[in-house]
Amino acid sequence: MAAVLTWAGLLAGCSAGGSGGLDLDRVLGKPPAPEDVIRVAPDDGSKEVRPEQRLRVRVPGGRLEKVTVVKDQDAQDSPVAGHISADGLTWEPEDKRLALAAKYTVDAVALDARGHRSARHTTFTTYVPEERFIGYVTPENRATVGTGMIVSLSFSREITHRAAVERAVRVTANPPVEIRPHWFGATRLDFRPERYWKPGTEVTVDLGLRDVEGAPGAYGLQDKTFTFTVGRSQMSLVDAARHMMDVRRDGQLLASVPITAGAPKHPTYNGKMVVMDMLEVTRMNSRTVGFGGEYDIPDVPHAMKLTDSGTFLHGNYWNPDAPGRVNVSHGCVGLLDVKGGSSDTPAGWFFDRSLVGDVVEVVNSKDKTVAPDNGLGGWNMAWKVWKAGSAVK
């Protein structure tokens, strides 16, 4: 009877939490549960895990043999790079920030302190944001542009965490040149070098915006790369007082073309402007640029957009005697053309030899210099001032 009671008492004392209790699993040689050997954070089955939460696999003793982590995002599986520490006790990913709207799968194998091998399989899902943002890039991917092109990103919502977004965008060139960013307000970020690009330069724009928080609760969607090539150098100097435009290609004068600039009541902006778009024909309505009903021309030929506010360099067939003699426009630069357009006219000749990204500079007009954020007018800003517009100090 005493022996039976003693054995019963021994069993009663075998509890994990009892003070002075006996670990029966250890006595009998039973291996511990995998979750006691391999600790994974975030916990198995966790949902809505925030991107700043730490992903970590560890063992309190023994060593990790192998850890495999797979990220399923947008129905695409990709391995998560990481490393096991020198002491074998922990594994951590190289990228400390978790992806949003993703499912993570963790498979780990470890040896505990007594040489028992354990394996653990866990999953968790990350936070799915209600709001996303993207950046619309100028110029287009794979475009060939003029030497005055400025890389411009227009965001789909206001950006308050500007430094984080700026760090996520990388603009590089071959041959290398220093390229710096400048913010215009809360929705636009431009990049340019100190001087015009050299012909033949290849420019790469890496948008690493995916999962970057641009504003509270709003995360980027894009992880893309854009490239463009800088073509030949063409610079055109419009002299509003002389009613002429000198066109230079790679430093050599190609032609002097008669123009008509803005009339005294509506002068053309001075300063450097960049061709943003080229249209064989377009409609120009004065109401769209704040002039009332002064004109509505449905078929303006050879139209090249210079500013967001509506400045164009275009063909003019309705005032054939104006180019070279008098300024009659509402702020645009007009070249002689015919109705329907023709390559044989000065406007057609210039249009056929131009690229998006070419620079058109206006001088001797009785108006102010175009604002740096009106179109791609950033070349009118001093380099020191441009660099000061970065959010990363």
- pLDDT per residue as tens digits for the range 170-218: 999 999 999 999 999 999 999 999 999 999 999 999 999 999 999 999 9
Task: Please tell me what DSSP assigns to residue 126.
Answer: B
* Least confident segment among 8-17, 273-282, 341-350, 377-386: 8-17
Catalytically active residues are: 314, 332
SS3 347: helix
Pick the CATH number of 234-380 from 3.40.50.300, 2.40.440.10, 1.10.10.10, 3.40.50.12170: 2.40.440.10
> Is the CATH code 1.10.10.10 the one for domain 25-125?
no
* Least confident segment among 1-10, 176-185, 230-239, 246-255: 1-10
Taking residue 20's Cβ as centre, other Cβ atoms within 10 Å add up to 5
Do the first three CATH levels of 25-125 and 234-380 match, i.e. the same topology?
no
Mean pLDDT for 129-137 is: 93
Is this prediction's pTM over 0.85?
A: no
Q: Tell which wins on pLDDT, 18 or 187.
A: 187
Residue 322's pLDDT is: 97
- pLDDT per residue as tens digits for the range 54-106: 999 999 999 999 999 999 987 788 999 999 999 999 999 999 999 999 999 99
Question: How far is it, in rounded angstroms, from Cα 336 to Cα 332?
Answer: 13
131-231 sits in which CATH class?
mainly beta
Residue 161's pLDDT is: 98
Domain ranges of the chain: 25-125, 131-231, 234-380
Average pLDDT, the chain: 91
Residue 173's pLDDT is: 98
Distance of CA 60 to the CA centre of its chain: 43
Question: How far is it, in rounded angstroms, from Cα 376 to Cα 78?
Answer: 39
Q: Which amino acid is at 278?
A: M
Residue 284's pLDDT is: 87
Task: Please tell me what DSSP assigns to residue 7.
Answer: H
Give the tokens for residue 32.
């511990």
